[in-house]
Amino acid sequence: MDIRLEKIELMKLLRETENLSVATYIKNIFVKEKKDWWDELPNYVKEGIEEGERDIGEGRVHSYEEIKQYFGWK
């Protein structure tokens, strides 16, 4: 079945239902789909990412080769 027919069938079912929980469930699917993953992160994670971005911007970075040498990795 093509997507247009699926949408029409879904609209028909939604229009005919009197079950509020079904309508709410379907609505929540679309609301969650539109959320930005950044908004879902805890503040301490956001702060860590922002700190890392500042470090990069200010040149506080090391190459992979430097890290391997520092830790004695081969």
- Summarize the confidence of residues 1-13 as an average pLDDT: 90
pLDDT tens profile 43-61: 999 999 999 999 999 999 9
Nearest-angstrom CA–CA distance, 47 and 49: 5
- What local confidence, expressed as pLDDT, does residue 29 receive? 85
Q: Alpha helices of the chain — where are they, by DSSP H?
A: 3-16, 20-34, 37-40, 43-57, 64-71
pLDDT score of 60: 95
Identify whether residues 53 and 28 lie together within a single domain: no
pLDDT at 34 over 90: no
* Whether residue 44 sits in one domain with residue 18: no
Give yes or no: residues 24 and 44 share one domain: no
Distance in angstroms (rounded) separating the CA atoms of residues 14 and 5:
14
Claim to verify: residue 40 and residue 73 sit in the same structural domain:
yes
Angle between helices 3-16 and 20-34 (to 10 degrees): 140
- Per-residue model confidence (pLDDT) at position 33: 66
Total domains in the chain come to 2
Q: Which domain holds residue 50?
A: 36-74
Encoded tokens for 10: 């879904």
Q: Is the pTM of this model over 0.75?
A: no
Residues 44 and 28 in one domain: no
